[in-house]
Amino acid sequence: MRWICLGIVALTWTASVSGEEPASPWKAGVAAQVITPKKNVWLAGYAKRNTVSAGKVQDLFAKALALEDQDGKRVVILTLDLIGITRAMREDVARQAEQKWGLSRDRLLVNASHTHCSPLVRGRPSVMFELTEQQWADVDEYLAALPALLVQVIGKSLKDLAPAQLSYTHARAGFAMNRRLPTSKGYQNSPYPDGPVDHDVPVLRVEDPKGKLRALLFGYACHNTTLQFEYLCGDYAGYAQEYLEADHPGVTALFMAGCGGDQNPFPRSTLARAKQHGRALANAVEAALLPRPRPVSGPLKVAFEETTLQFMPLSRDTLVQMGMSKTIYEVRRSKLLLAELEKNGQLRSRHAYPIQVLQFGKDLTLVALAGETVVDFSLRLKKEIAGNPLWVAGYCNDVFGYVPSVRVQKEGGYEPVGSTQYSILPGPLAQSTEERIISKVTELVQRVRKR
C-alpha cells in the first residue's frame, strides 16, 4: 500500500511539473450568432404598435452553450434575444439539429429573453396586429431564415467542445418588481412593491481546465420590458450580456429568462434605464463570481416530457358576444375562434405543455418551463424540491402565452384573463394548471436524481 501511495504521488508530481492538465469531467463549447433582421420589420410585444421598426440600437443574438459529460452525453442550451419561441420553430430546429449534429430532441433547451424590442415570431393570423401584405412578407422572410441560423449556432457550439470545468454560484438583483397592484377595481398592471418576487441571479460558470473563464450562463425572473420604443434592442438582458462580455474579453455571456410573467423592471421606458438595469444585472453576476463557487460534477441527465393543460370552455354564444365588443382585439379573436369552431366542430380544450429537467450530478438541477410562468412557480418549486440548488427558468421551448398560478387565477387581472384577448388560444387556462405543472416537474426531478 505504501508503494501504491508513493506511485500516485509521483504520477501527480510528474503531471504538475510537466505542465500536463488534470483530466476534466466536462467538455464545453460556446458560439454566438447575430439574428438581427436585415430589414425593418414589425416588432412584437405591445398591441399599441402601429409601424415597423425604425432601426436598431443593439444587435440581437442567438447564443449556444454545448456541454458534454465524461460519458459523452450532451446538451445544448440555446438562448435567444427574441420575444419567444414557438413550438413549431423549436421542433423544426430540434429536428435539423438531430439530423446534422446527432443531438436528440430532449437535449436541446431553447430559452427566449422575451425582449419586446424584437420581431414577431408568430406568423399569420394575428389578433394583436394588423399588417399590410408587404409587412407580413417581411416578417415571413425573417422567420423562414431564422431556423437555419439557430441550427448553425448549435453546430458551432458543438464543434467548439473542449475540456472544461463547471461551477455554480448566485447573487441577487433588485430591479424586478411585482406588477399586480390590488385596487378597488381589481388587480392592475402597476408597480406593487409588496407582491412576491424572485430576485435570485443563478450563474453557471464555465472555465477551461486552467481556470480561464470561457462562458457565463445567468438568469433572472423579470419581464424584459424596460423599453417601449420602435427600435431593435435586447433591453436590459441584452445590455447585461454586452457589459459582461466587455468586462471579460473572450467570454460569452448567455441570459436565461426566469419565471417573470408577473414581474416588470422598474423604473421603465427609457434607454438609459434599460442600460441601468443591464448594469445592475451584470453587477449581480460579477458579485456572484466573488465567493468560492460550488463545483458542478456529472453525469448529465435529462428528462423531457409534456403534461396536459386544460382550457376553460368558451361557448359559441360567448364568442358571438365577444365579436360585438368595442375592443378590436376581441373582435378579431372572436372571428378566428368561430372559424375554428366551424371547421372542427369544437375548440381546442387542451394544450400540450413541455417540461425539461437537466440534472448535473448531485450539484445542480435546472428546470425549464414553457410559457410566461408567473413567479409563484419558481418560488414554490424552490421551496418544495429539496437537495442541490434548483434553477427554474421560464420562457422555454414553447412561449405560447401566460401561465398563471392558482393565486393569480383567483385574483384575476391581466395575466390570467386580460391577456387572452390578444391570443387565438381558447383560454383562459383552468385552475388545474399549477398542480399539473408542479406534479410533472416533481416527477421528472425525482426520476433524474434516482438514475
pLDDT tens over the chain, length 451 residues: 444 443 433 434 334 434 555 567 899 999 999 999 999 999 999 999 989 999 999 999 999 999 999 999 999 999 999 999 999 999 999 999 999 999 999 999 999 999 999 999 998 889 999 999 999 999 999 999 999 999 999 999 999 999 999 999 999 999 999 999 999 999 999 999 999 999 999 999 999 999 999 999 999 999 999 999 999 999 999 999 999 999 999 999 999 999 999 999 999 999 999 999 999 999 999 999 999 989 999 999 999 999 999 999 999 999 999 999 989 999 999 999 999 999 999 999 999 999 999 999 999 999 999 999 999 999 999 999 998 899 999 999 999 999 999 999 999 999 999 999 999 899 899 999 999 999 999 999 999 998 6
Separation between Cα atoms, residue 346 and residue 393, nearest integer Å = 33
Separation between Cα atoms, residue 332 and residue 323, nearest integer Å = 7
Report the candidate in 206, 199, 204 with the shortest Cα–Cα distance to residue 281.
Answer: 199
Residue 112, all three cell numbers: 427566449
Residue-level pLDDT at 20: 53
Q: How many CB atoms lie within 10 A of CB 160?
A: 18
Residue 289 counted as domain residue? yes
Beta strands in 25-60 (DSSP E): 26-34
Residue-level pLDDT at 13: 38
Q: Answer yes or no: do 97 and 165 share one domain.
A: yes
State whether residue 270 is helix, strand or coil.
coil
Residue-level pLDDT at 1: 43
Instruction: Name the domain count of the chain.
Output: 2
Q: Answer yes or no: do 283 and 327 share one domain.
A: no
Residue 5 counted as domain residue? no
Residue 409 counted as domain residue? no
Q: Answer yes or no: do 373 and 324 share one domain.
A: no
Q: Which amino acid is at 442?
A: T
Q: Answer yes or no: do 75 and 97 share one domain.
A: yes
Residue-level pLDDT at 394: 98
Q: Answer yes or no: do 236 and 169 share one domain.
A: yes
Residue-level pLDDT at 439: 98
Q: How many CB atoms lie within 10 A of CB 299?
A: 13
Q: Answer yes or no: do 128 and 153 share one domain.
A: yes
Residue-level pLDDT at 125: 87
CA separation, residue 299 to residues 28, 157, 252, 292, 444 (Å): 14, 20, 24, 22, 16
- 96: domain range? 26-301+356-402
Residues 6+ apart with CB under 8 A from 362: 297, 387, 388, 449
Q: Answer yes or no: do 95 and 74 share one domain.
A: yes
* Long-range Cβ contacts of 359-362 (<8 Å, 24+ apart): 359/300, 359/301, 359/302, 359/303, 359/445, 359/448, 359/449, 360/166, 360/168, 360/296, 360/297, 360/298, 360/300, 361/296, 361/297, 361/298, 361/299, 361/300, 362/297, 362/387, 362/388, 362/449
Separation between Cα atoms, residue 319 and residue 121, nearest integer Å = 26
Residue 30 counted as domain residue? yes
Separation between Cα atoms, residue 311 and residue 354, nearest integer Å = 16
Residue 14 counted as domain residue? no
Residue 436 counted as domain residue? no
Eight-class DSSP state of 106: G
Q: Answer yes or no: do 103 and 134 share one domain.
A: yes
DSSP string, 139-185: HHHHHHHHHHHHHHHHHHHHHT-EEEEEEEEEEE---EEE-EEEETT
Q: 29 with 162: CB under 8 angstroms?
A: yes
Residue-level pLDDT at 9: 39
CA 387 to chain centre: 23
Crossing angle of the two packed helices 328-344 and 316-323, in degrees rounded to 10: 150
Residue 3, all three cell numbers: 508503494
Residue-level pLDDT at 11: 37
* CA triple 52-54-60, angle to 5 deg: 90
Q: Answer yes or no: do 271 and 195 share one domain.
A: yes
Residue 188 counted as domain residue? yes
Identify any residues that bridge with 204 across adjacent strands, giving them in sequence order. Answer: 168, 217
Q: How far apart are the first and last CA of the chain?
A: 34
Q: Answer yes or no: do 292 and 179 share one domain.
A: yes
Residue 444 counted as domain residue? no
Q: Answer yes or no: do 394 and 331 share one domain.
A: no
Residues 6+ apart with CB under 8 A from 306: 352, 353, 354, 355
Q: 285 with 218: CB under 8 angstroms?
A: yes
Task: Please tell me whether the overall predicted TM-score, pTM, comes out greater than 0.85 for this model.
Answer: yes
Torsion of CA 258, 387, 108, 88, to 10 degrees: -50
Burial class (CB in 10 A: 0-12, 13-18, 19+), 315: exposed
Q: 85 with 199: CB under 8 angstroms?
A: no
Residue-level pLDDT at 6: 39
Q: Answer yes or no: do 77 and 151 share one domain.
A: yes
Rg of the chain over CA atoms, in angstroms? 23
List phi, psi (to 5°) of 406: -60, -40
Helices (H) and strands (E) in the chain, counts: 10, 19
Residues 6+ apart with CB under 8 A from 47: 128, 129, 329, 422
